[in-house]
Amino acid sequence: MNAGRELYSMAGVPKRHKDFRPDHHNKDEQWRWNYDKLKNLLTNRGIAGVFGKRGAGKTQACASVIGFCCLNLGKSAKYVKAFDLFLSIRNGNNPSSNTTEKQEVEKYCKPFLLVIDAFEVRGDTAFENRTMDHIIDRRYDEQRPTILISNEDKSSFSASLGISTLDRLKEGGGLIEFTKTSFRGSEESFYVLQQKQRIEKEDLERGIEF
């Protein structure tokens, strides 16, 4: 496996959102516009808050930026849902765990690009807010791009980001809204599924397993 492929396979992109090729699979202008803005984060080294309707392609766009980051730039990336991030950090506190809380926090500070999905699914406790602010601030200091994704509307999302993160968003990132009516069940997403299944079938025939 080449280095970029290895980085991509370690990034934790969900199977559903893997191997989407924006240039071939996407036919939606607004999605493309947002995807390009997100890609710019990799050079601007900014923080972006992605929000909008269910099924509008938020996770897919960010997963595709991870693909670009690993495969085209050869830089590391990580995808995680907020809930799993906190589970892993809490688990670090457990005496039987083989990693510490600090090591778990480092796991999210180190990758060049970090995508935190389902930002709204969290406890909103003082511990969680402090931990999230700390990870975002560490990454900001190191000029590592970070993307936060939420289903909330603009005002709730802005409130849950908190004033420190909202202010950091002004430098080379910002809020990016996905407004499309859900791709789920649409012709566009059916076309992508068919394309991916065709590639998977050809790979299986060539003896490459997923």
Ligand X SMILES: Nc1ncnc2c1ncn2[C@@H]1O[C@H](COP(=O)(O)OP(=O)(O)OP(=O)(O)O)[C@@H](O)[C@H]1O
144, 114 contact by CB (below 8 A): yes
Among residues 5, 6, 9, 54, which is the contact residue for ligand X, using CB under 6 A?
A: 54
Percentages helix, strand, coil for the chain, rounded to the nearest 5?
Answer: 55, 10, 35
Indicate the residue among 16 and 170 with the shorter CB distance to ligand X.
16
Total residues in contact with ligand X, by rule CB under 6 A: 20
188 binds ligand X (CB under 6 A): yes
The three-class DSSP label of residue 51 is strand
Please, which of residues 10-49 interact with ligand X by CB under 6 A? 16-17, 25-26, 28, 31
Indicate the residue among 89 and 176 with the shorter CB distance to ligand X.
176
Please, which of residues 84-143 interact with ligand X by CB under 6 A? none
Query: How many CB atoms are located within 10 Å of the residue 35 CB?
Result: 22
59 binds Mg ion (CB under 5 A): yes
189 binds ligand X (CB under 6 A): yes
138: left (phi over 0), alpha (psi -120 to 50) or beta: alpha
Q: What are the angstrom distances between the C-alpha of 210 and each of 159, 165, 168, 183, 201?
A: 40, 38, 39, 25, 11
**What residues line the site for ligand X (CB under 6 A)?**
16-17, 25-26, 28, 31, 54-60, 151, 178, 183-184, 188-189, 192
